Chains A and B, each alone.
Chain A
Amino acid sequence: EVVMTQSPATLSVSPGERVDLFCRASQNVNSYLAWYQQKPGQSPRLLIYGASTRATGIPARFSGGGSGIEFILTISSLQPEDFAVYYCHHYNKWPRTFGQGTKVEVK
């Protein structure tokens, strides 16, 4: 099983700041990596797939990068609606696994 490790667990930031979230896989997952955003009481929303492709309707301030075992999700200028928990997820092989999540909270 591929273990996905996200860092940091919590990030305290102010609106307008740049945010970098990290995800590391325990083995090579190529570019079969997705990122999701989940707000309290809501279902997750797909942000990025293929490590770097924005999903339909996702603002350009969200970008993804990396391949192999190291990945990054960048929010170029954090908006008030971006405070949420972010998860990475690989789909390179079975079983699929998620990271434990990074909570982006108000500083």
Chain B
Amino acid sequence: EVQLVESGGALVQPGESLRLSCVTSGFTFSNYWMTWVRQAPGKGLEWVANIKGDGSEKYYMDSVKGRFIVSRDNAKNSLSLQMNNLRVEDTAVYFCVRDSWGRYYGSGGFDYWGQGTLVTVSS
């Protein structure tokens, strides 16, 4: 059974840093792109970042470029998101997500989601 479990969410002040973690199981972690998606309270879904299976490619939404860093440890089947210089508008539930894109011809979409971890940025 595929499982993704996030941790690390907290209440922080603007300008502070926070590191989110996601531990996975039930699949060959290194074979998959992994994703962070966030959802502000009462709002829609927002793609944040992606990292390739071997960690060689990383992509970010514009508003977090230079502040957030996505990384992975394939030996520990874990994904991380280092969030620096946090802003009030970063307040959201952050989901760890498996991306099925590229696994086979025609594959795509975010097929497994964690339960999310809440990050609140407020003074």
Contact = CB atoms under 8 A, between A and B. Distances in A.
Interface of A: 1, 32, 34, 36, 38, 43-46, 48-50, 53, 55-56, 85, 87, 89, 91, 94-101
Contacts of B99: 91
B109 A46 contact: yes
Interface in B36-64: 37, 44-47, 50, 59-62
Nearest to B93: A43
Contacts of B111: 46, 49, 55-56
B45 A44 contact: yes
Given A43-B116, A44-B113, A91 B44 contact: no
B109 A43 contact: no
A98 B109 contact: no
B110 interface: yes
B108 A50 contact: yes
B107 interface: yes
Q: Bin chain B's interface residue count.
A: 20 to 34
A98 B107 CA distance: 18
A103 B99 CA distance: 24
Nearest to A95: B61
Contacts of A1: 62
Between A32, A44, A48, A91, the greatest number of chain B beta carbons within 10 A of the residue's beta carbon is seen for A91
A99 B110 CA distance: 14
Contacts of A95: 47, 59-62
A49 to B, nearest CB: 3
Contacts of B101: 91
